Chains A and B, each alone.
Chain A
Amino acid sequence: MTEKTSEKTLIPAAHTEPVVFTRDQLDWLPWLEPMAEAALTPRHITALVDPPRAKSDYFRLLARDPDILEARTRTDKDIFYNTVGGAPRADRELAAAATSRLNGCIYCASVHARHAAIYGKREADVDKLLHEGVSADLDERWNAIVAASVALTAIPIDFGPEHVERLSKAGLDDLAILDVINAAAFFNWANRLMLSLGEPATTA
């Protein structure tokens, strides 16, 4: 290992900090030194799963531990992109956006609010969630998904059979309910990395 003993956190260049939840594209600036692109070995490239992620500071920072990065990325992709049965993409993205809204991850919320709005074709409802927060009244199916995400995100965890029942009554089958649980749980992972290893910035 060539780690120095007195490493310092990074000071991001001058930027504008977003102060509201938004569907706009944001940047993310790291507080710790990502790997240099030139230092990425084939193992790191494999761990990124999508090679273009080598351009991202976030993923090159996580690439410092390639094994957990790769496992995390493959978990993420199946939870959100495996559309064989289960919940439509929009429902999963909504769970991710609601979780991010509650935890307070402006960056994560921006990405997944965009996806939820696009896949669900429901820009107004997604904006309502962003502006009013997780108590926003959408429709029963989306209210049930947001409520489930909130209960799962709270500490102590408040998610119980009543949330499963409400999702079921709203028309979600077992696999769809599992998708919502996975999506909300996964964003409790993603939010913590995004919030604690760097900060969002508005794009010029």
Chain B
Amino acid sequence: MTDVIDTLAGIAPGSALDKARNNRPEARKHAQASYDALFQPAAFGSFSKLERFAVAAFVAGLHGREETRDYYTKKLEEAGASPELRVVVSGEVMNGHSSGPYGHYPHGPLTIEDKEGMTYGIGASERHVLGPRLSAAFEHAHMLVLHPRDAAPPSLQELLNAGWSTTDIVTLSQLVSFLSFQIRVVAGLKAMTARAA
């Protein structure tokens, strides 16, 4: 059975890290089950496979880790994305490139820790290719990835206005947040392998 984290981190069966991961068998099994629930669900419902991999390719791109970026970019292609869409997704990864986490705290003693950063928005021609749903999803995903403490109801209302249902927003939020986990586990495991080498 495929284990995406093992694949991306290059973990060989029987290696020391394979054994370490086996000591957390439920975490290992359900990290993969999480991937399956998001990317190979029993039913995609109103959040399509193409949309899921478009958001994933964008999110993985923003993290800048080659192994996960290439994986989800390929998945987007396999999901049937047009060349035009793929070009826009890679372009948005560059447009959205930034360092995080940044953002604002509630006004008070923590205000001195506020850190300014990019407010990402999609241009008119790219919006035309992405459509209203993916455009809203990318703008929300960028905030979640880079400055999650700036989250506020208007961002969710933008998604609702763009045709996302409440349930689809839950799935979208899980998808972006899961990738924030998966990409970091892979990065961590790769660092462990590099040190052992």
Using a CB–CB cutoff of 8 Å, the interface residues on chain A facing chain B are: 1, 3, 5-11, 17-21, 31-33, 61-62, 64-65, 67-72, 74-75, 77-79, 82, 84-86, 102-106, 133, 152-157, 159-161, 163-165, 168, 174-175, 177-179, 181-182, 184-186, 188-193, 195-197
CB-based contact B106/A74 at 8 Å: no
Min Cβ gap A60→B in Å is 11
Q: List 30 A-B contacts (CB under 8 A).
A: A1-B45, A19-B105, A31-B156, A65-B171, A71-B30, A71-B33, A72-B34, A78-B26, A78-B28, A103-B148, A104-B101, A104-B103, A155-B98, A159-B188, A159-B191, A161-B192, A164-B194, A175-B23, A178-B24, A178-B189, A178-B192, A182-B185, A189-B177, A192-B148, A192-B176, A193-B174, A196-B140, A196-B144, A196-B156, A197-B156
Distance in angstroms between the alpha carbons of A188 and B99 in the assembled complex: 15
Report B-chain residues with C-beta under 8 Å of the C-beta of A175. Answer: 20, 23-24
Whether a CB of chain A sits under 8 angstroms from the CB of B178 is yes
CB-based contact B34/A68 at 8 Å: yes
CB-based contact A17/B106 at 8 Å: yes
Chain B 146-197 residues near chain A, CB threshold 8 A: 146, 148-149, 151, 153-157, 160, 163, 165-167, 169-171, 173-174, 176-178, 180-185, 187-189, 191-192, 194-195
Min Cβ gap B160→A in Å is 5
With A18-B106, A31-B156: A188-B192 Cβ-Cβ less than 8 Å: no
Other A-B pairs, 15, CB within 8 Å; known A9-B160, A79-B27:
A1-B165, A19-B107, A20-B110, A32-B169, A64-B171, A74-B26, A75-B33, A82-B27, A104-B149, A153-B184, A155-B145, A165-B195, A177-B192, A181-B192, A196-B156
Question: A19, A61, A67, A190: which contacts B109 (Cβ < 8 A)?
Answer: A19
Distance in angstroms between the alpha carbons of A133 and B34 in the assembled complex: 31
Q: Which 6 A-B pairs rank lowest in CB-CB distance, beginning with the nearest?
A: A19-B108, A104-B149, A181-B188, A78-B26, A185-B184, A196-B151
Report B-chain residues with C-beta under 8 Å of the C-beta of A182. Answer: 24, 27, 185, 188
Report A-chain residues with C-beta under 8 Å of the C-beta of B37. Answer: 65, 67-68, 70-71
Min Cβ gap B109→A in Å is 5
CB-based contact A65/B174 at 8 Å: yes
Min Cβ gap A55→B in Å is 18
